[in-house]
Structure 1
């Protein structure tokens, strides 16, 4: 007869220690902090129980007493990064300004911890710092005349937009690091090719657009505009 399948478990409901036996040499937070340091320096693929154990100077198997699964470690790491949100005691009363500030903070946190876009999932949405974040955002959205479900959609869309923005920036940076020439040289060659294609007359709408907006794209400006347009879509008419 096959053994009983493992039951789902929430790491936050698991006591860090039972209270019996000697005090552990490390804490769960020690393990998480080491994992975050490794991921920040070397990427998420470098994070393993063996690597963390070497960082802490302990046995690999002993770490499973603190964190039983790698999925739990990822959830703890995401929560540790979420602790970096600087949330005022009370929202300002201007829901658009507050949510714009949240979007900017989310982008900054993801840029400090590039591995977040690799492991973040909605399954980790109920960790202590995620709940703190969600409660504050819902409070900030109190002035918005919308039902709670729509407010949750707005929060999710802001997070999704920021994640997509950062991941695209990361992909561009990763590709650039692998090229044997500079990004400026790459853009010059691509720009020349595009100009040649536009001169064929096959793309009149695109040619008109580029002729009207010849300036290089400012990624920060695009980000701010994207968030503004997103908030506009949730703003009641006449507000």
Structure 2
């Protein structure tokens, strides 16, 4: 009996063996899909829309991909590849992880749709594995269980996606028409004098605190 489990897109040929000579490569298809998602969001990405962007029929894309899910996986790995080459800070592992985290944040700012697909288990491709491997290399000097390192890397990605999402969607807060006297602790907080901004921005403070809490005794 043969194994019916479908092979990941990474393990399949770039195109089917049948049909005419292709006019486009798999990379062309993925680049067109990423451009559509960057411009109009993930919902704008369909096999038909990508084919139209390439000036071909939707049916031709199935010579390269079996489904839209394959396309989403390839888009995810294509975007994550932008994190390479990996930066190295002049300080220790914490400084380097912070720099890597900032690169993740910038990546999600460039590709807002990525935060909606990056956690798909089928989307863990070569670029994602390379990123994870590099983070483990940076954390090699840290004396802690490897599970804590896995958690720290995953949480760093979570912080980057959270900050990118907040920047893109957070509306201005207004208390107009609300009787704040009903909320004494909130009123007291707003009545406190302004304090100087900390030397570190919120992203840095959050990520440093998270890494320290997870990785150091």
TM interval, shorter chain, is 0.7 to 0.9
**From 5, 15, 18, the counterpart of 1:17:** 15
Separation in structure 1 between the aligned mates of residue 88 and residue 211 of structure 2, nearest angstrom: 20
Aligned equivalents of 1:10 and 1:126: distance in 2?
10
- The Cα RMSD (Å) is 2.7
The unaligned stretches of length 5 or more in structure 2 are none
Segments ≥4 residues shifted beyond 6 Å: 215-218
Q: How many residues align?
A: 213
Q: What SS does structure 1 have at the residue aligned with 2:112?
A: coil
- The 3 A distance-change label for structure 1 pair 133 and 18 is same
TM-score for the superposition, normalised by structure 1: 0.78
The answer on whether the counterparts of 1:91 and 1:139 sit within 8 Å (CA) in structure 2 is no
Quick one: distance in 1 between partners of 2:202 and 2:93? 21
Aligned to 1:137: 135
What does residue 3 of structure 1 align with? none
The question of whether the paired residues in 1 share the 8 Å contact of 2:76 and 2:114 is answered with yes
* Shift in Å, 1:170: 2.3
SS for the counterpart of 1:83 is helix
Name the structure, 1 or 2, with higher relative contact order (CA <8 Å, separation 6+).
Answer: 2
Match of 2:30 in 1: 32
Trace 1:110-189 onto structure 2 (pairs within 5 A): 110-124=108-122, 126-172=124-170, 187=173
Q: Find the structure with the greater CA-based Rg.
A: 1
* TM-score normalised by L of structure 2: 0.86
Q: Mark the runs of 5 or more structure 1 residues left unpaired by the alignment.
A: 1-5, 177-182
Q: How far does residue 88 in structure 1 lie from its aligned partner after superposition?
A: 3.9
Matched residue, 1:223: 203
Distance 2:67 2:112 in 1: 22
Tell me how far apart the structure 2 counterparts of residues 80 and 234 of structure 1 sit (CA, whole Å). Answer: 30
